[in-house]
Amino acid sequence: MAKVTILGCSYAIPDSNNEVTHLAIHGDKTGVLIDCGSNPTVRLEEANISYDSITDLILTHFHPDHVSGAPLMLMNMWLLGRTKCLRIHGLTHCLNNLNKLMQAYDWNSWPNFFPIEFNYITTDKKNTIINNDDFLIHSSPGNHMVPVIGLRIRNNKKNGKTIAYSSDTEPCDSIQNLVNKVDILIHEATGKSTGHSSAYQAGKVANKAKAKALLLIHYNIHNNDKSQLKYMAQKTFDGPVKLAFDFMKFDF
């Protein structure tokens, strides 16, 4: 059974209990880390997930709360003796900037570094990123301050269930179409602003998509009344609504 682990649920400003938004998805042979804003090596250990089980890293966009942990994680994997290839997927804007960041650390001089395979994702709608025995993963562009992708992930084993992750985006047609009829929609709820969505808007997306359930993520964890997020989403979506929390796990 495929499993999702929320490694962080916060928007760009974390606290001592909640990290910035990133998550891991595991099948029988595939481990996908989605975004890398903190130090995932530590978060993976705390979630009892082996760093070596991560076969793929998908970076949704080049903002610090989504990519700044990547250099440290890559160095940690190298120092811990990783030898197998890590596939890193992202838009050209994101991967080009990640390469520049790694070059600033002079990573080409790190001896016996494990293989890295870069997969440059196009901005096509429903672009295929991964298709193997475990998962079929598609991306579509969102509407943010920098180029961004949302993700749709199908469990290729047994049940064919689907989840989707909006990443950071205002409501837009390409993400709306990507998340149509998913079993679980993981949608950001930063608040209505440039490049972001509110919980109310996330509910509207889930309702229009006929999603079976909505999980709110990337929200202001400093808000003392987080129940309002769920309440606002339920104004526009009558299905189950939950707030993501750090180390939340569920099967799909």
pLDDT at 1: 81
Q: What's the pLDDT band for 39 if we cut at 50, 70, 90?
A: confident
Mean pLDDT over each residue of the chain, to the nearest integer: 96
Instruction: Look at 5-14, 36-45, 81-90, 240-249 and tell me which has the smallest mean pLDDT.
Output: 36-45
pLDDT at 222: 95
Instruction: Look at 25-34, 50-59, 110-119, 155-164 and tell me which has the smallest mean pLDDT.
Output: 155-164
Residue of 248, 240, 58, 236 whose CA lies nearest to 153: 58
Q: Over the stretch 130-155, which tens digit does the pLDDT of each residue have?
A: 999 999 999 999 999 999 999 999 99
Q: What's the pLDDT band for 38 if we cut at 50, 70, 90?
A: confident
CA–CA gap between residue 219 and residue 227 (Å, rounded): 12
CATH top-level class of 3-251: alpha beta
- pTM over cut 0.85: yes
Average pLDDT for 176-190: 98
Q: What's the pLDDT band for 86 if we cut at 50, 70, 90?
A: very high
DSSP-derived 3-state class of residue 239: coil
Enter the DSSP assignment of 72. Answer: H
Domain ranges of the chain: 3-251
Residue of 73, 177, 182 whose CA lies nearest to 125: 177
pLDDT at 224: 82
Q: Inform me whether the pLDDT recorded for 158 exceeds 80.
A: no
Element (H or E) spanning 91, and its range?
A: strand 86-91
Average pLDDT for 85-107: 97
Residue owning tokens 């339920």:
234
Q: What's the pLDDT band for 125 if we cut at 50, 70, 90?
A: confident
